[in-house]
């Protein structure tokens, strides 16, 4: 990502963002609300189109045409704060829809693959239920499995635990940790600093559309590079 | 058929009832044509309206805005009387009424459907795009199945409006229930006074519309329960 800017009308959501990640790297993005974290990762798969600058994902330049977007999305999975499962489809159908439609898998192959990843997030026994019959944590795990079914090279997480009840947060975090341990490249917007400390290779702290800090977690927590990051950490920890 | 009515109900009641029922059929046919023809155009308009293309959106918006702002009666006059004069062509009342009602229906129906589509959570589109589905794939497999429950009840409800709307077509000489009824009401035949004929016609419109209205209400109740 090079000198990326994003404007929402007159609001400068991303201000001269530069950063790069390596394969297998786990990056946690944090910062106060409205700081542009979500916008940042939504730009990576073109859910928001950046106003200026260049974004390259896995060697593909992200342009406004459908072609580059589809190529990039083929390799990026995304998990949302509100899960965004398809409520009219069962868990397994949620998982098989995209592989059948975009990868051209046969229903049997797609089902097999879906079961594999549902098993991976430990929810295979719920495969034939509708999303509304699952708890929030279960729904989010299904959403993770649904993304994995396209076998992406990078996973984006946009505050995956913010909409969850406290008691189900851990099951989702555990799933993410095990993904991380398997070497998946991850970019994760979250306020779960304990989780960040555990899996992150780097923590990016954002404020007002800018990247203020970009450090390994130990350094970030012990010796944040900026006053604002210090304030943010103390606010979260005293909560 | 006509004779049977006369035999049972006598003259002139048998003839009146037979003619009214006969004309009532035309009302139903015209409504059905307006519904399906208008629906087909509405489908296209709705697609254009929710697409990402600004020019397509603008075209659709302009069309809807125009036909929603013009009274149906005006449209009927335009199609039935204005156009034939302007281009010096013969247009049958059937054709004119069909065109006017299809235009009218398409504009309103596409607004109903757009509303239904926009009621579906934006997150569904985002999840679809994130899974690399295309606009049409998302629309077909995710949005429309969910929008259906929001759009069904108002669509059926709007059919009632169409049926009542067809009654205006009498003004350009379309021989529907309205025109035939009015003709009888104006005739000097005893037993066909306005105070008999008009209530009779009202009952017939009621018999066509009420079941639909009832059905729409039931659908609505069901969809509320489901949400």
Choose among A73, A88, A143: nearest Cβ to B132. Answer: A73
Q: Nearest-CA neighbor of B67 among B93, B45, B35, B96?
A: B45
Give the SS3 label for residue A61: strand
Residues A162-189: tens digit of each pLDDT: 888 888 888 889 899 988 888 889 999 9
Q: Is residue A174 part of a domain?
A: yes
So what's the pLDDT on residue A2? Answer: 57
Q: Does A77 touch chain B (CB under 8 A)?
A: yes
| Chain B stretch 130-189, residues whose beta carbon is closer than 8 A to a beta carbon of chain A | 130-134, 137, 141-142, 145-146
Closest chain B CA to residue A155: B130
* Count of positions (residues) in chain B: 227
- Chain A positions touching B126 (Cβ under 8 A) are 47, 80, 84
Choose among A76, A88, A98: nearest Cβ to B133. Answer: A98
Q: How many structural domains does chain A have?
A: 1
Say yes or no to pLDDT of A114 above 80: yes
Helix segments in chain B, DSSP class H: 2-9, 13-50, 54-69, 72-77, 83-87, 93-119, 122-130, 135-138, 144-166, 177-186, 194-226
Q: Could B141 and A46 be called an inter-chain contact, meaning their C-beta atoms sit closer than 8 Å? A: no
% of chain A with per-residue pLDDT over 70: 94
Q: Is residue A126 part of a domain?
A: no
CA distance, residue A159 to nearest chain B CA (Å) = 14
Residues A46-92: tens digit of each pLDDT: 888 888 888 888 888 888 877 888 888 888 999 999 999 999 999 99
Yes or no: say if A111 and A91 are a contact pair by the CB < 8 Å rule: no
Q: Nearest-CA neighbor of A160 among A181, A129, A132, A139?
A: A139
Q: Is residue A140 part of a domain?
A: no
Confidence of residue A4 (pLDDT cuts 50, 70, 90): low
Provide the residue-wise pLDDT of chain B in tens; the chain has 227 residues.
Answer: 777 877 777 777 788 888 888 888 888 999 999 999 999 999 999 999 998 889 999 999 999 999 999 999 999 888 888 888 888 888 888 889 999 999 999 999 999 999 999 999 999 999 999 999 999 999 999 999 999 888 888 998 899 999 988 888 888 878 778 888 888 888 888 777 788 888 888 898 898 889 988 888 888 787 666 55
So what's the pLDDT on residue A120? Answer: 87
Domain residues for the domain of B69 are 2-226
Closest chain A CA to residue B123: A84
So what's the pLDDT on residue A57? Answer: 85
Confidence of residue A1 (pLDDT cuts 50, 70, 90): low
Give the SS3 label for residue A46: coil
| ipTM (interface predicted TM) | 0.89
- Report the CATH number at residue B170: 1.10.3720.10
CA distance, residue B15 to nearest chain A CA (Å) = 54
Residues A13-28: tens digit of each pLDDT: 787 888 888 888 899 9
Residue A213's DSSP bridge partners are A205
Q: Could A73 and B130 be called an inter-chain contact, meaning their C-beta atoms sit closer than 8 Å? A: yes
Q: Does A78 touch chain B (CB under 8 A)?
A: yes
Closest chain B CA to residue A73: B132
Q: What gap in Å lies between CA B113 and CA B37, rounded to an integer? A: 15
Give the SS3 label for residue A2: strand
Q: Nearest-CA neighbor of A199 among A215, A180, A218?
A: A180
Choose among B130, B133, B146: nearest Cβ to A87. Answer: B146
Residues A117-175: tens digit of each pLDDT: 998 888 889 889 999 999 888 999 999 999 999 999 899 999 988 888 888 888 889 89
Phi and psi torsions of A62, nearest 5°: -80, 110
- Report the CATH number at residue A181: 3.40.50.300
Q: How many structural domains does chain B have?
A: 1
Q: Could B132 and A147 be called an inter-chain contact, meaning their C-beta atoms sit closer than 8 Å? A: no
Give the position of tokens 């954002």.
A206
Choose among B130, B133, B142: nearest Cβ to A45. Answer: B130
């Amino acid at each position: 990502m090079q000198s990326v800017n994003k404007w929402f009308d007159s609001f400068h959501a991303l201000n001269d963002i530069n950063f790069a990640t390596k394969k297998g790297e786990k990056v946690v993005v944090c910062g106060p609300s409205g700081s542009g974290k979500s916008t940042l990762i939504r730009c990576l798969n073109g859910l928001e189109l950046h106003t200026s600058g260049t974004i390259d994902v896995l060697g593909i330049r992200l342009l406004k045409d459908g072609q580059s977007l589809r190529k990039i999305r083929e390799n990026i999975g995304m998990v949302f704060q509100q899960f965004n499962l398809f409520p009219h489809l069962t868990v397994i159908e949620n998982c098989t829809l995209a592989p059948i439609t975009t990868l051209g898998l046969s229903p049997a192959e797609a089902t097999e693959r879906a079961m594999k990843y549902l098993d991976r997030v430990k929810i295979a026994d719920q495969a034939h239920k509708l999303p509304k019959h699952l708890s929030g944590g279960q729904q989010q795990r299904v959403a993770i499995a649904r993304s994995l079914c396209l076998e992406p090279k990078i996973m984006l997480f946009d505050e995956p635990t913010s909409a969850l009840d406290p008691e189900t947060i851990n099951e989702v975090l555990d799933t993410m940790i095990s993904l991380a341990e398997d070497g998946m490249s991850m970019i994760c917007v979250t306020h779960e600093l304990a989780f960040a400390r555990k899996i992150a290779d780097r923590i990016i702290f954002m404020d007002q559309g800018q990247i203020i800090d970009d450090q390994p977690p130990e350094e970030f927590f012990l010796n944040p590079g900026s006053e604002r990051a210090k304030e943010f950490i103390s606010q979260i920890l005293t909560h | 058929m006509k004779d049977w009515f006369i035999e049972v109900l006598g003259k002139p009641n048998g003839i009146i009832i037979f003619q009214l029922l006969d004309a009532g059929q035309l009302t139903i046919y015209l409504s059905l044509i307006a519904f399906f023809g208008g629906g087909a155009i509405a489908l296209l308009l709705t697609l254009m309206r929710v697409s990402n293309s600004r020019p397509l959106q603008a075209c659709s918006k302009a069309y809807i805005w125009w036909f929603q702002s013009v009274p149906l009666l005006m449209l009927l006059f335009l199609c039935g009387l204005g156009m034939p004069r302007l281009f010096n062509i013969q247009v049958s009342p059937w054709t004119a009424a069909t065109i006017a009602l299809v235009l009218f229906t398409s504009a309103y129906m596409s607004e109903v459907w757009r509303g239904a589509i926009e009621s579906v959570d934006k997150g569904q589109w985002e999840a679809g795009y994130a899974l690399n589905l295309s606009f049409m794939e998302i629309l077909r497999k995710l949005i429309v199945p969910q929008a259906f429950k929001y759009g069904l009840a108002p669509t059926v409800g709007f059919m009632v409006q169409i049926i009542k709307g067809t009654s205006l077509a009498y003004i350009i000489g379309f021989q529907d229930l309205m025109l035939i009824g009015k003709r009888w009401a104006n005739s000097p035949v005893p037993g066909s006074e306005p105070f008999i004929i008009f209530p009779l016609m009202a009952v017939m419109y009621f018999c066509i519309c009420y079941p639909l209205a009832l059905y729409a209400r039931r659908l609505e109740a069901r969809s509320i329960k489901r949400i």
